[in-house]
Chains A and B, each alone.
Chain A
Amino acid sequence: MSGALDIEAIRRRLATGDGRRFWRSLEEAAGTPELAALLEQDFPRQVAAGLGVGRRQFLQLMGASLALAGLGACTRQPQQEIVPYAKAPEDGIVPGEPLFFATAMPLDTGVYGLLAESHMGRPTKLEGNPEHPASLGGTDVFAQASVLGLYDPDRSQVVRSAGEIRPWSAFFQTLHAAMQTQRTKDGVGIRILTETLTSTTLHDQIIAFNSELHSARWIEYEPINRDNALLGLQAAIGTDAAFYNRLEGADVIVAFDADLLGSGPNALRDTRAFSGRRRPGGRKPMSRLYVAEPMPTVTGAKADHRLAVRAGDVEAIARAVAAGVGAYGVTAAAAAGPHAQWVEAVVKDLTAKRNSTVVVAGPAQPPAVHALVALINDAVGNTNATVANVRPFAGGREQVAALGKLVEDIDAGKVDLLIIAESNPVLTAPVDFRFAERLQKVPLRIRLGLYEDETSRLCHWHLPAVHYLESWSDVRGIDGTTSIIQPLIAPLYDGKTVHELLAACMRKDESDRVPTSYEIVRDYWSRQRAGDSTAFWRRALHDGIVEGTTGAALRVDRDVEYLPKMAESIPLGDGLEITFRPDPAVYDGRFANNAWLQELPRPMTKLTWDNAACIAPVTAERLGLASGDVVELRLEGRAVRAPIWIVPGHAPEAVTVHLGYGREHGGRVAEGVGFNAYAIRSSTAPWIARGLQIHKTGEHHEFATTQHHHDMEGRDVVRGATIAEYQRDPKVIREQGEEAPGAGETLYPPVRYDGYAWGMAIDLNACTGCSACVIACQAENNIAVVGKDQVSRGREMHWIRVDRYFEGSADTPAIHHQPVPCMHCEDAPCEVVCPVNATTHSNEGLNQMVYNRCVGTRYCSNNCPYKVRRFNFYLYSDWSTESLKLQRNPDVTVRSRGVMEKCTYCVQRIQYAKIKAEEDDRTVRDGEITPACAQACPAEAIVFGNQNDPESRVAKLKAEPRNYGLLAELNTRPRTTYLAELRNPSPDLEKA
């Protein structure tokens, strides 16, 4: 035990400081008594040899210490058994053979069902779990980037109290003392603040906790919460409910300010279902999407009819629609004015397609809209058909109200002990709660978190949390699907889970051992399932879902005596409107220290490393503002300085700001990026507020955007048509651009590709522009982050980029997204001009880049018409930070300064599949090779395969009449081709 304490000590010592100082602090640690104790455990011989006596011993000790606390320690597998997704090789880990493990990542009310790729015990890449109903194999930017979060050198690594590094034991003493006093008064002074609860085990623990300490209170709070939906449905259905959609059955979709297809765990299923209904020649006709929203979202970009309206005006439109479809108890509202036609078309479609439409409202919309939506769905027979109501997990709770109550209790001095797990209220709580100052009145404040952030700074104790990839837990999705979270790696640092923290609270006697989260979770589930718990457990771990938990829909019937009420609508003032949104890259701020996400071009603005006050061109003109102008946003006497960004398609007279920036603490990447929109977000108007004032400061802000030009200049870059036009004459697509020269039209004898001919088809119709492919590629291919300054110089390194074009008027443009990886041209212009043969063609048609041969003339990039090549102008790859090295894909070279790089079609995956195929003496099967971008895509927009095989999916897609090659008239003969975008506009609106 004492030895263990020594390890505790050395761990602390070793863990101080960030990744860069890691080794130095190690050397400092060497030759201390702690090390001696540590070595005694692992290397008895060295100790026998004595410490620090002579160079030889010293070197041995150094070697030992490095081995201990360095990579060796980091890549240890968890002690408990974890179950791989595919059958594990007989002799455990085979060097060079990646293993896949099913696990899950919680976010918001949802869950990502994941498969984690593990190299020699290091998780390096995450994929969607195809068997998980909420993922179906797709992922999004958050899930893809979360693996970087695991290795983030800025993660908190030690228990800290008043700036002092302390051992866990010291904390447990304090905690125990506090709990003892609370036990005497039934825990009346205890408050536990967590994020939205999705862990069944944690829920069980809390119930147990409460059953013992009845007066203890538990609060959920997240800035992006579902309060409005909850209230709206309560009113409309008379019971707590949440719902999810079955878009696969929807002929018509109406989204009221709802970013259905945007990132977030609940969007994956919808995206897959939606894109499934957008392909021509499917069994069911192409669906039609109506969207009414202020700020363009990926959902709005896909809409057949997008209405750019202020969030506050959505209610009137919803009401008009409800009245139009004869929703229960909705009296005919005033004509929706300018939007009358849109409403008319929507009503017509909804009534025409009973039981097979979906109407949905976003979390930002007030309860009234959610109630209206529920009533509309009822009226057109969607409830229980395409809209499945479910009991919200853990009863569902109003988070803002709950947090308000907590604040009151603090003022009333009722709170003695506040435990904050993960949630970061000091940053995210409504500003009128003045949480930071209230918090400091609490006698004992404990924070468990991944980072020492704004909240940790104000707490007595900061406890390092463990990343989900290193911890045991479970998580329940909105449709009830529950997954067990199994760790891929033993905790890098000495962190604990919230399960363990709660368990520690509940210890009767201080000498009791704190159970591990494995024990807690395992115990919970063995209580749930009678019979062979081991078989059940292994099965659950293997599949990544607990069988029998999926889709427990709650049947809602009209004939119950409950009469639906309308949730009363909150009157908005007038004047300029502001809406608060989660950021497409850093969400509510929790991902702010993730450099991949910070550098991800936001799907709509193409901004990196920033948030902005987004406004419509007309409004900018009226206010005399230009992109980059720094203004002061004043709301209810509060103010924040923000740079303006003009967004075509944004609703006029409204400003959209994204949350999660302007972080003061929480990592070197996060700090000082963007502005903190929470500073003007109040509990009374957490989503939509009017009466915003904009004051120019005369200052200018430099944005780093990856796309400066948003017009296609009349070039046939993105081709498209309406489904009607296309069905009338499929040639319409080919005729939109210049014909590519025939194979014979060349001076040179054509090169034959007889074996495999790898090719890719990208369906622009399915692509939503969510950019999951970009992050997936970055994770798979060890792509470096270059930072804001370099991005603003046009030196970003992404191998696949998602181009975004606006078409038509600046107020209501059509929005197109186009992923652009390397085209792997058969007649590659880049190869011919390379003086040293550093880029050449493989006999399977891959355009290969040989890093070690490249001298860096950049001629290839100049001569690439697609500009997909990326150059290491400096040493961009981080060669020094140890923890980041662990994330790297061992199958992909880490590039150095002065060499060109680009998309390889994930050649490492191609080679892997070919070797496997050769082992069992067959050819590679179609679908056996999936590049990272294709695998991440929730819409299945990217298809890769052997185009020599007429039966392959890619060959079939390329045979479609809407297939076209980008700039094919240059006779580059690209292997990557595109399937044109088809829209399905309402005939009535099209006429108008």
Chain B
Amino acid sequence: MRRPPIYGMLAEFDTPTQLVTAVRKARAEGYRVMDAYSPFPIEELHEALHFHDRRLPLIVLIGGIAGGLGGYLLEYWTSVIAYPLNVGGRPLHSWPAFIPVTFETTVLCAALAAVLGMLALNGLPMPYHPVFNVPRFALATRDQFFLCIEAIDPHFDREITRRFLQRLDPLSISEVEH
């Protein structure tokens, strides 16, 4: 589809409550492609956006299992197959002694999966994003709350959307350049 002239329309609010209300109203208005920005996590916000992502826990689970298996197999292979040695009369496969390392590798891989997974799903690192073009947006990491309705939303129309946002009496409204 044709690339819209602007990225979207950004409205600035003073409190989390205002933002959450704004999001709810926007959805009621039929807007779907939008995002909200806040200086701290707000539980209600992603619910208001009807945004749910359940993939991360699965990724972590897979990471953990892989780590655990990998760890134990490494121990088994090195001490039973690759270089079997009689160490203090203990059996080659002394499984009780192999538990601690298995545990650690499990945790390590799971944790890595959690962090890398989160960053990947969030598309981070992301050096450039249009919303940063709005000077006021710098306050998004301090004390202001923003709602951005994106231009690719089917309902988006520069005039209508601006008027709609006006009705939510934000501190400011600005168009987001690409």
Contact = CB atoms under 8 A, between A and B. Distances in A.
Interface stretch (B87-95, B151-159, B162-170): B87-95
Given A831-B88, A973-B89, 6 more contacts: A749-B91, A825-B88, A832-B88, A837-B83, A840-B86, A841-B85
Interface in B84-118: 85-91, 94
Nearest to B91: A748
A832 B86 contact: no
A891 interface: no
A827 B89 contact: yes
Contacts of B88: 825, 827-832, 841
B91 A831 contact: no
Interface size class of chain B, counting residues whose CB lies under 8 Å from the partner chain: under 10
B87 A841 contact: yes
Contact of A837 (B87, B89, B91): B87
A837 B88 CA distance: 10
Interface in B67-91: 83, 85-91
A843 B86 CA distance: 8
A748 B86 contact: no
B41 to A, nearest CB: 44
Given A748-B91, A748-B94, A837 B86 contact: no
Interface residues of A, number: 19
A268 B58 CA distance: 80
Contacts of B94: 748
Nearest to B89: A827
A837 B85 contact: yes
B24 to A, nearest CB: 60
A832 B90 contact: yes
A780 interface: no
Contacts of B86: 751, 840-843
Contacts of B83: 837
A826 B87 contact: no
A63 interface: no
A828 B89 contact: yes
A837 B78 CA distance: 12
A973 B89 CA distance: 10
Contacts of A831: 87-88
A748 B85 contact: no
Give chain A's interface secondary structure class: loop
B94 to A, nearest CB: 7
Interface of B: 83, 85-91, 94
Contacts of A828: 88-89
A750 interface: yes
B87 A751 contact: no
A749 B94 CA distance: 11
A834 B97 CA distance: 13
21 contacts: A749-B91, A751-B86, A751-B89, A827-B90, A828-B88, A828-B89, A829-B88, A830-B88, A831-B87, A831-B88, A832-B87, A832-B88, A834-B87, A837-B87, A840-B85, A840-B86, A840-B87, A841-B88, A841-B89, A843-B86, A973-B89
A750 B85 contact: no
Interface string A835-851: 00100111100000000
Interface string A462-474: 0000000000000
Pick from B87, B89, B90 the residue with the most CB of A within 10 Å: B89
Max chain B C-beta neighbours (<10 A), residue from A831, A843, A973: A831
B86 to A, nearest CB: 4
A987 to B, nearest CB: 47
Contacts, number: 37
Contacts of A825: 88
A655 B85 CA distance: 56
Interface in A727-758: 748-751
Contacts of B87: 831-832, 834, 837, 840-841
Nearest to A843: B86
A868 to B, nearest CB: 15
A695 to B, nearest CB: 57
A438 B88 CA distance: 67
Most A-side CB within 10 Å, residue of B85, B86, B88, B90: B88
Nearest to B79: A837
Ranked 8 nearest A-B pairs via Cβ: A831-B88, A841-B86, A832-B88, A827-B89, A828-B88, A840-B85, A751-B89, A831-B87
Interface in A960-975: 973
A113 B43 CA distance: 95
B164 to A, nearest CB: 67
Nearest to B94: A748
A666 to B, nearest CB: 48
Nearest to A828: B88
Contacts of A749: 91
Contacts of A840: 85-87
Contacts of A751: 86, 89
A471 B70 CA distance: 68
Contacts of A827: 88-90
A736 to B, nearest CB: 26
A841 B90 CA distance: 10
Nearest to A747: B96
A518 B83 CA distance: 58
Contacts of A973: 89
Contacts of B89: 748, 750-751, 826-828, 841, 973
B68 to A, nearest CB: 22
Nearest to B86: A841
Nearest to A748: B91
Nearest to B87: A831
Contacts of B85: 837, 840-841
B79 to A, nearest CB: 9
Nearest to B97: A832
Contacts of A750: 89
Chain B CB within 10 A, most for which of A750, A827, A832, A973: A832
A843 B85 CA distance: 9
Nearest to A832: B88
Nearest to A842: B86
Contacts of A843: 86
A749 B93 CA distance: 11
Nearest to A834: B87
A78 B59 CA distance: 80
Nearest to B78: A837
Contacts of A842: 86
Contact of B90 (A748, A830, A834): A748
A748 B92 CA distance: 10
Interface string A451-468: 000000000000000000
Interface string A808-840: 000000000000000001111111101001001
A769 B87 CA distance: 33
B156 to A, nearest CB: 63
B90 to A, nearest CB: 6
Nearest to A829: B88
Nearest to B83: A837
A842 B87 CA distance: 9
A824 to B, nearest CB: 11
Contacts of A748: 89-91, 94
Contacts of B91: 748-749
Contacts of A832: 87-88, 90
Nearest to A863: B88
Contacts of B90: 748, 827, 832
B76 to A, nearest CB: 15
A829 B88 CA distance: 6
Most chain B CB atoms below 10 A, which of A829, A841, A973: A841
Contacts of A841: 85-89
A156 B85 CA distance: 51
A830 B88 CA distance: 7
A533 B132 CA distance: 112
B116 to A, nearest CB: 30
A829 B87 CA distance: 9
A837 B79 CA distance: 10
A840 B79 CA distance: 13
A973 B88 CA distance: 10
A12 to B, nearest CB: 56
